[in-house]
Structure 1
Amino acid sequence: MKDKKVVVIGGGTGNSVLLAGLKNFTQNITAIVTVADDGGGSGVLRSDLGMLPPGDIRACLLALSNTQEQLEKLFRFRFVSGKLKGQSFGNLFLAAMNEIYGDFGLAVKEASKVLNITGKVLPVTLDKMDLIAELENGKKFLGESAIPKFVKKEKSPIKKLSLENSDVKILDSCIEAVREADLIVLGPGSLYTSVIPNLLIGQMVEEIVNSKAQTVYICNVMTQAGETDDYSVSDHVRGLLKHSSEDILDYCFVNEKIIDYKYLKSYDIEESVQVLPTKEDEKFLKEKNIRLIKGEYIDVKDGYIRSNSLKICKDLEKILKTQTK
């Protein structure tokens, strides 16, 4: 994989976990990251400063960083009191860089130099990006952070996701990265608020489908309350295909290791359950001409269930060695 170009598309914790492992296999990494977040510290900076939300970008930069431990610790620091409570230093740093350079894309590029990252991190767009969720009951809600809350309130699942502004343009460097990629990875991460938003921007889906690269979707290990309640592997893939193209995927990676219940207990409160492959999933994926790759893709750290990026990357490497599109 060393000389192969890998593009990872998504956002959130899952994306950054994969990137941290991927940098051990190749330096040719491009992370294309959603900028639709309007909650938490990122939402505050977006509202106050009129900038794009930095949170997911910050997480990906840190995942790919090769810098001194003290500097990385500083970027991860989150204030615990005062008006800055809940805000991270990394977000504030990106906000300052955005003010200095007057361009969020350039701010991310310069921050990449400070953190000495492997590869590149790119916002999917420099335009304002707001999500609209239409539920099965017909009601619509604006804003990424509002989606899970209103899904729970209405007790109605997501039917369709769209952008408030359909004229949002994909960054040219993102198009270039996709065209040059040998492998494109979607996820892992929140299906409707991290992965799919990137696919709603005009030209992105077309570029992925027409790319010479193999395209892999890494299914989430757990369901997510307010987004993918009771979702099977097939439901995750259906949601992705519905918002992109029937031809977009070549592979679907799914964890098959059953998680010890002692680690699942804390997830019961969130009404989050494990996603495991079934015979029905295998049949569905075969009908869609998507190869199912099963493995023990979980890792438990400090009680939190995460994807095992090293095992995933080893299987991604096998695809690059044996497959051509």
Structure 2
Amino acid sequence: MTRSIHVVAIGGGGGASQVLRAAQSFASRLTAVIAVTDTGRSTGLARAIGGIPAPGDLRATIANFATDPLIARLLQHRFSGAGVPQLEGMAFGNLLIAALAEVQGGFGAAVRTAAELAGCAAEVLPVSDANTDICAELEGGALVRGEVHVRGLGKPPIRRLFLREAAPANPAALEAIRRADLVVLGPGSLFTSILADLLFDGMAEALRAARGQVVFVCNTTTQPGQTDGYATADHVRRVAEALGPGALDAALINQGTVDAQRQARLAADGLLVLAPSAAELAAIAALDVRPVVRDFGEPSGVQRVLWNKQDTLRHDTAALAAALRELIA
């Protein structure tokens, strides 16, 4: 393509990075708008130390697009905790962002400086500079507070998601969304990454006003504690409802074959592979959302070792790139 293309990816560190990697083949400008309400182990401790929003997904995204390999390794380096058990698993990049926030007097400035140090090939923006938490009302009326509890296992389904205190979205993120040629939500944790980002004031309005197409990359599996029992259409419906009528243009939906051994491995971790039926696809189309159905699944391979998270069936970058390029065209 000859014209300049700007792609914005919204979500957590893993999903947004994968979308932007796919978009690198045709886009000249890449922007990640990243969740800030994580309260996990390393990120939660960094939040407490620095009094900041969650730095973990931002750190990972910066490292993924760092042009300086040493800085990328440093950002992702995790301490062993030898002698200081509280630091076991702490990512150095989380501490760096917390320190920069204190030195520079702001979280947004800290993230920008970390990205500059890494020579980041993408613009990485926190969805908000507000230090707040997500909360959920569960079926039956119980309330839970904090990302760890919102995604906790063995609880009733999530009925409603909200912020502990209302907070504005990052103005730079809103402007990027409104002016982008393509805005992509997901893949990633439906409630604690994607829908959490949409809770900040101005996000849904910016997506409704976006001049480019707004696309949701639907997850390939359910996620324990968040989407147990969900079908593909349930994922799309939740996002469409959060954005409002007519805002979501398309949903990229995986419909590939997954071998029995891999399905069994995923099921052992509570992740069930989503296989949308014709009726589900019709229900998605009835939401005025175009279903783009393909085999988006990554080739079979070895199981990855992740920090304190489940491995899942990821999207194939080349297949994702082809679909996003077609949506732009």
Taking structure 1 as the reference length, the TM-score comes to 0.92
SS class of match (1:243) = helix
> Any conservation in 2 of the 1:27–1:118 contact (CA below 8 Å)?
no
1:107 aligns with 2:110: yes
Unaligned 5+ segments in structure 2 are 304-310
> Any conservation in 1 of the 2:78–2:90 contact (CA below 8 Å)?
yes
- 2:27 aligns with 26
> Any conservation in 1 of the 2:7–2:20 contact (CA below 8 Å)?
no
- 1:246 aligns with 245
Residue identity over aligned pairs, in percent, reads: 31
Distance in 2 (CA, whole Å) between partners of 1:114 and 1:71 is: 7
State the 1:125 CA deviation. 0.8
Q: Which has the higher contact order (CA 8 A, sep 6+)?
A: 1
SS class of match (1:237) = helix
- 2:165 aligns with 165
After TM superposition, list the pairs within 5 Å mapping 1:19-168 onto structure 2.
Answer: 19-68=20-69, 70-82=70-82, 83=84, 84-149=87-152, 152-154=153-155, 156-166=156-166, 168=167
Distance in 1 (CA, whole Å) between partners of 2:71 and 2:66 is: 10
> Any conservation in 1 of the 2:71–2:117 contact (CA below 8 Å)?
no
State the 1:135 CA deviation. 0.9
State the 1:31 CA deviation. 0.6
Counterpart residue identity of residue 76, structure 1 = Q
> Any conservation in 2 of the 1:19–1:60 contact (CA below 8 Å)?
no
Report the aligned-residue RMSD.
1.6
1:226 aligns with 2:225: yes
- 2:262 aligns with 263
SS class of match (1:217) = strand
> Any conservation in 1 of the 2:154–2:225 contact (CA below 8 Å)?
no
> Any conservation in 2 of the 1:32–1:122 contact (CA below 8 Å)?
yes
Distance 1:266 1:248, change over 3 A: same
- 1:286 aligns with 285
> Any conservation in 2 of the 1:184–1:213 contact (CA below 8 Å)?
yes
Taking structure 2 as the reference length, the TM-score comes to 0.91
> Any conservation in 2 of the 1:62–1:72 contact (CA below 8 Å)?
yes
Unaligned 5+ segments in structure 1 are none
Distance in 2 (CA, whole Å) between partners of 1:75 and 1:64 is: 12
Counterpart residue identity of residue 60, structure 1 = T
* Count of matched residue positions in the alignment of Structure 1 and Structure 2: 316
SS class of match (2:151) = helix
State the 1:160 CA deviation. 0.7
Distance in 2 (CA, whole Å) between partners of 1:145 and 1:111 is: 26
SS class of match (1:228) = coil
Counterpart residue identity of residue 228, structure 1 = T
1:314 aligns with 2:314: no
State the 1:172 CA deviation. 1.1
Distance in 2 (CA, whole Å) between partners of 1:231 and 1:186 is: 18
Distance in 2 (CA, whole Å) between partners of 1:119 and 1:48 is: 27
Distance in 2 (CA, whole Å) between partners of 1:311 and 1:100 is: 43
Counterpart residue identity of residue 236, structure 1 = H
State the 1:301 CA deviation. 4.6
